[in-house]
Amino acid sequence: MKTYLNALGVACSLGVGKRAVADALFDAAAHGLRSLDGWVPGHALPLGHVSAELPPIPAGLEHRDTRNNRLLLLATQEIEGEIRAAIARFGAARVGVVVGTSTTGIEEATHNIASRGKTGTWPDGYRYADQELGAPAAFLAEWLGIAGPCYGISTACTSGARALLSARRLLRLGLCDAVICGGADTLCRLATNGFHALEATASERCVPFSPARRGINIGEAAALFLMTRGEAPVALVGGGASSDAYHMSSPEPDGRGAVEAMRLALAAAAIDAGTIDYVNLHGTATEHNDAMESRALAQTFVHAVPCSSTKALTGHTLGAAGALEAAFCWLSLVDPLRRLPPHVWDGQPDPALPPLAFTQVGDTLPQGLCHLMSNSFAFGGNNASLILAGGT
């Protein structure tokens, strides 16, 4: 049974909406990273901050007011018409919501906890529920009046990808006729300081797969799909997930878990590796991730598959990354020129790593049916791979 990605709403540091994001993504003339003070004491870090004005939370839902939900709302508004049409067609109980996240309302909670430390009491506006990992999904369901399955997924940097896998499963099991799925994460001090304490953040724009790579730039984004069984130009034809549990924060060096996720995705799509036309790499620009991923691709692909990491354009959007980068594949498949996201870096390959066929500005997909893979790898050895297909 095929499942289709019928509509996409997206907001990230590259822009708001499919057209703005696609223009910035494919041309790579500008990026969304800006050096910002105030997130890590004593340091100005490049961050992928969404500078657009975020919409207010709808009346009656003021108890759901967090930056995370506002960014999610911004992305959802782009496809609100398609979503409400699906609800009208299938009924509220047959539409589900699955949202991947890792930060939810933790930034607001941080301010409230600091206030309590000073005054001894919680501020009037503090709600523990804002921090719950299902809060973004619950907000969407409450706003849209959806009564189907509704939950959040938080598997660190695979959250957004696993939300799409979960939505596909709901459709294939017949539990839903449509699922709103994707990921949303916003900048917060807990995450930025945590990654900085792990010495995983770069003080300059990241350079994935270069020997000069020093770590990640953190970003924020929301990417949301409407997924159904109704035919559309882009299908989610396969997905795979694994958990190697090698280390709390480091990937297994030989990439065994990543290879398993990719091979499971290929098997689910009933294709071989030679059919893949492009891979969106996880590509965090950390020493260990890029080394592992290079080895994993060398084991999976015997041909030089075009590939790129887009994190030098958006930053690493954590729980939203898997959905955002699947969205970049979706944009390539619907683009009239069939452009591919370029790999933006210093152009210096790491001689210690297996070589990869990085894309450049202007590279395009071949004509006809194409298959694109998007990889996400997370803390704890959590791995996910998605395969999207489109074109005739």
Catalytic residues: 157, 282, 316
What is the pairing mode between strands 3-12 and 234-243?
antiparallel
What is the pairing mode between strands 306-308 and 357-358?
parallel
Question: Closest by alpha carbon to 43, among 53, 32, 55, 35?
Answer: 35
Distance CA 245, CA 247 (A): 6
Integer angstrom CA distances of residue 273 from 301, 312, 341, 371: 6, 26, 20, 10
Would you tell me how many other CB atoms lie within 10 Å of the CB of residue 274? Answer: 11
Distance CA 71, CA 83 (A): 17
**Ramachandran category for residue 182: left, alpha or beta (phi over 0 → left; psi -120 to 50 → alpha):** left
Integer angstrom CA distances of residue 230 from 172, 270, 353: 12, 20, 42
